[in-house]
Amino acid sequence: MVLKQGTLSVRRMVYEDLDAVLVIQGELGFQEWTQAHFLTEIKNFNDCIPLVLEYDTIVSGYMVLKVMGDEAELCSIAVRKSKQAMGLATLLLRQGLEMLWIRGVCQVFLEVRKGNTYALGLYRKMGFTEVGERKRYYPDGEDALVMVMKNVLDA
């Protein structure tokens, strides 16, 4: 796929991607997952879909989805600051949702920081709706909104 004169690909995350993934996480100001967390998900081939998005061969985004029968959880998604507002998160999320659909997943849940307007906009645009709230969910005390996409086929 070509995007704004660049080459774009989405593929399964591998061990060699972890340094770049941790850099992206740090750029965005959250360090919620360690290298060990990501490594566990890479090895968990049956129940997890860890993906990276490469833009011109540079890891520029990542996403982790956990599959539990016909449901899934979007655990984490991020795009480098320098590559934001290009539609990369949307493309990455669509690719992940397609993979979930192929696996027979019907609905996807996620938690998102209540103040993360960028992510909330993405999720709402993709068809997620708010179904609840978790008070003081994050280590810094910020609340989380619980969102769900009830029909992955509609994405």
Q: Kindly state the tokens that stand for 32.
A: 């919620």
Return per-residue pLDDT of the chain as tens, 155 residues: 445 556 888 999 989 998 898 888 887 776 677 788 888 888 887 889 999 999 888 898 989 999 998 999 998 898 888 777 778 889 999 999 999 998 889 899 999 989 888 889 999 999 899 999 999 888 888 899 999 988 776 65
In sequence order, what DSSP letters do the residues of the chain get, joined into one string?
Answer: -EETTEEEEEEE--GGGHHHHHHHHHHTT---S-HHHHHHHHH-TTTEEEEEEEETTEEEEEEEEEEETTEEEEEEEEE-GGGTTSSHHHHHHHHHHHHHHHTT--EEEEEEETT-HHHHHHHHHHT-EEEEEETT-STTS--EEEEEES-GGG-
State the residue range of the domain holding 38: 2-154
Report the domain count for the chain: 1
Domain of residue 9, CATH code: 3.40.630.30
pLDDT of residue 132: 92
What distance in Å separates the CA atoms of residue 121 and residue 123, rounded to the nearest whole number? 6
Q: What pTM was estimated for this model as a whole?
A: 0.86
